[in-house]
Structure 1
Amino acid sequence: MGQWEQQRRPELLKSFQDNVYGTTLPAPTTTTYDEAGGDNTAGSGSARKVTITVTGPAGQASFTLRLFTPTSGTPKGTFLLIDHRGSVGDTPGSGGYAPASKITGAGYALAALNAEQVAPDDPGSYRNGVINAFYPAGQDLPADAGRTISAWAWGASRAMDYLQTDAAASTGIDPSRVAVIGHSRGGKASLWAGAQDPRFPVVVSNDSGSTGAKLARRDTTGESISAINSGFPHWFPDTYKRYDGNAGALPVDQHELLALIAPGRVVVASAVDDANADPQGEFGSYLAAAPVYALYGLGDTGLPSTTWPPAAGTSFRGPGMSYHLRPGGHGLTDADWDIYLGSDLFQR
């Protein structure tokens, strides 16, 4: 345990920064919160909109966090969604990707971070958010500086900063019961956020695929490193491009990213027909992270067998690890949320 926490864990974290996700932005010089709230008549909860403004050495940037909480009772926990679609508005959705009314109706809170405002998901403008507050806009970024995915993970930690304030406490939100969750590219960011920030007791990866939960060394199955770097050149630092077509040279693999979340609960969700995300590679990564969880007495994966595939549509839950394989394709669906809301993720 001591060797893991004092030596190996810091080594892995640095290696992921150096080779995969890039150097993380530093803490802001100052952070302010501008709040607006009121009853939410469109669903079973109350809504609050928070504008988070951060100051760095090169300027300021602002982004929105929306909170939806049950109208009565203390939330059983909070799902902090890295909303890479920018689709959560002032009123909640009722199903699918961000079903606030379903979440609050189950007694939980939803905190939706507008990741598009943190860093636009566009190769030409991704810096026009928090990144330009820390690097002068007219200068090229260092080759090892984090790009969009790293910025989204950093934004999730700034949202957690807010959830630890007295203002957030007035909603009944308990900052010790926050699950950071993301789907697809947002799932990559949620894993990186959880690996770096131990304040998240639960980290949920929903169909995160390449450079998310999928084992990197299965590079010829599903989306490859070269394909993701070519299709989304703004997601990761230039240093990651050294491994295009050369995944075997990576000094880390994604099961080690999952292991960095320990002893927090890691939740990996895959979909049967999501070939691009390589569900078998996500499953293999989940299994391979278990030995580190075992150091904390949490090595039980909840799975009855290590054989692929496990039963689809079933939630497998151990004391610190959770997994499910959903029928269907790529998406964050009501079926996924039914499992998350029904699994009591904040309990060992």
Structure 2
Amino acid sequence: MKYSIILPFLATTILAAPILEERQDATCTIPTTFPSKDNAKLPDPFTFFDGTKVTTQAQWSCRQKEINAALQAQELGTFPPKPSTLTFSGTGPITITATEGGKTISFSVSIKKPSGAGPFPAIIAYAAPSIPVPATVATITFDNNGIAAQDNSGSRGKGKFFDLYGSGHSAGATTAWAWGVDRIMDALEAQDTGIDPKRVGVTGCSRNGKGAFIAAALVNRIALGIPQESGSGGAACWRISDSEHAAGKNIQTPSEIIGENVWFSKNFDTFAKKSTTLATDHHELAGLVSPRGLIVIENEIDWLGPVATTACMKAARMIYKSAGVPDNMGFTGAGNHNHCSFPSNQQADLTAFINRFLLNGSGSTAGIEKGPTADVTKYIDWTPPTLT
């Protein structure tokens, strides 16, 4: 099937979306402007912005592209395509050199491989993995901070991504990091590194967990997303975080995030002050990973939003179910452990997903939905369909 796709570049004007055409023959034109109507409920992932209902798998694929474009326009900033010139050297570490518009940057990633003969599955880890990586899985260590700085609110436009595309580029740091992950995948596909590019996951914790979540959503060659303790900006829905904050919870909110750091586009600033005007929310960010694997690991710390993450990911699991792959996504929340530590009671869930999506195992990932009590029906006014 072919899709005609128009993605936003620097979309700063937010208007009502134009009508999407020719969905029935699997052709879709993605709008460049998106609705900002106030809506306290989580947006319906199965209704196009023009009001047309999604009823088929082909339409869902088109709707995913529409959601992706809206997220880039209002929250993430533009996710650039493969650079015009891209070269690689080494098989571990790998040095990646990208050229665009007369500018060139290089960055390197290290690879720790298992013993024995490959090709091996691998997990790309932002900074360093805080989850236990099995001995049979390689670890690719990615210096995401070098690609886009995230020291504080003054870090915007700094890092190798912005050296290449300009300090005024619309991408937030998390989107720039996802671009780096995309280039790592280019390298793994282009040369024999001993890594199987069809069996690669991505992980990170806390702010890096936000980044890993966004990379899994934007880089469709990632087989398994493993965001850990990403909270607001990751597994939590913005609207629910704001609702919990209004109820007196000590929780990170979008308006706090934009003052703290540069993880998101400047385009997000207006919406962060009133999250109910966003065209999307993060149940739909998770929906972009579908049908690929996604295991969301959370910690029941107030700041991370246990109710916001649990309810949001319950809504995301509805999306996976409608898409016909209910067991390809799981959510596991646990309390009573330090931030970015990994408790033993989450090990079985993580192992199940790594076995299935990276190790070609046959174990079950069905029904992994663990967390505090959170009633998702409070936050939605739509019913997930069964797509044909």
TM-score by length of 2: 0.69
Q: Which of 23, 29, 39 is the aligned partner of 2:78? A: 23
Contact 1:104/1:110, CA 8 A, preserved across alignment = no
Give secondary structure in 1 for the equivalent of 2:267: helix
String of CA shifts for 1:81-113, please: whole Å, max 9, x gaps. Answer: 122xxxx5xxxxxxxx457xx6352x1111111
Partner of 1:286: 313
- The CA distance in 1 between the partners of 2:165 and 2:342, in whole Å, is 36
Which of 88, 110, 115 is residue 144 of structure 2 equivalent to? 115
1:340 is displaced (CA, Å) by 2.8
Which of 94, 103, 126 does residue 82 from structure 1 map onto? 126
> Deviation string for 1:22-62 (max 9, x for gaps)?
111232121222326xxxxxxxxxxx211212112151122
Task: In structure 2, give the amino acid aligned to 1:17.
Answer: Q
Q: How many Å apart are 1:174 and its aligned residue?
A: 1.3
Task: Determine the C-alpha separation between the residues in 2 that align with 1:244 and 1:263.
Answer: 29
Taking a change above 3 Å as real, the CA distance of residues 177 and 30 of structure 1, as seen in their structure-2 partners, is: same
Shift in Å, 1:279? 2.2
Aligned match for 1:277, one of 293, 301, 304: 304
Matched, 1:54 2:98: yes
Question: Unaligned stretches of 5+ in structure 1?
Answer: 37-47, 89-96, 300-318
The CA deviation at 1:177 is 0.9
**Alignment correspondent of 1:309:** none
Tell me the C-alpha RMSD between the 2 structures: 2.2
The letter of the residue matching 1:208 is S
1:325 and 1:56 mapped to 2: Cα distance?
42
Q: 1:125 to 1:252 in 2, by over 3 A?
A: closer
Deviation at 1:197, TM superposition (A): 2.1
Task: Name which of structure 1's ranges 258-267 and 157-166 shifts more when overlaid on structure 2.
Answer: 157-166
Please, which of 164, 187, 193 is the counterpart of residue 133 of structure 1? Answer: 164
How many residues in Structure 1 have an aligned counterpart in Structure 2? 291
Q: Does 1:226 align with 2:226?
A: no
How is 1:24-43 mapped onto 2 (pairs within 5 angstroms)? 24-35=79-90
Equivalent residue for 1:192? 214
Does the 8 A contact of 1:29 with 1:55 survive in 2? yes
Aligned residue in 1 for 2:178:
153
**Cα distance change of structure 1 residues 5 and 125 upon mapping to structure 2, 3 Å threshold:** closer
Query: More strand by proportion, 1 or 2?
Result: 1
Return the offset for 1:338.
7.0
What do residues 258-304 of structure 1 show as CA deviations (whole Å, max 9, x unaligned)? 011100011111112x22111221111111012321234222xxxxx
DSSP 3-state at the match of 2:273 = coil
**Counterparts in 2 of 1:52 and 1:190: CA distance versus 1, 3 Å:** same
Residue 167 of structure 1 aligns to a residue whose secondary structure is: coil
Q: Which amino acid aligns with 1:331?
A: C
Q: Is the 8 A contact 2:204 2:210 kept in 1?
A: yes
Alignment of 1:287-326 (within 5 A): 287-299=314-326, 319-326=327-334
The alignment partner of 1:60 has SS state of strand
Distance 1:125-1:23 versus aligned 2 partners, 3 A rule: closer
Structure 2 unaligned segments of length 5 or more: list them.
1-56, 365-388
- Residue type at the aligned position of 1:271: N
Question: What's the secondary structure of 1:54's corresponding residue?
Answer: strand
2:340 paired residue among 331, 340, 344: 331
CA distance in 2 between partners of 1:345 and 1:326 (Å): 22
Contact 1:153 1:192 in 2 (8 A): yes
- Tell whether the 8 Å contact from 2:113 to 2:120 is kept in structure 1 after alignment: no
Percent identity of equivalent pairs: 25
Q: Supply the distance in 1 between the matched residues of 2:351 and 2:58 (Cα, whole angstroms).
A: 34
Deviation at residue 333 of structure 1 after TM alignment: 3.1
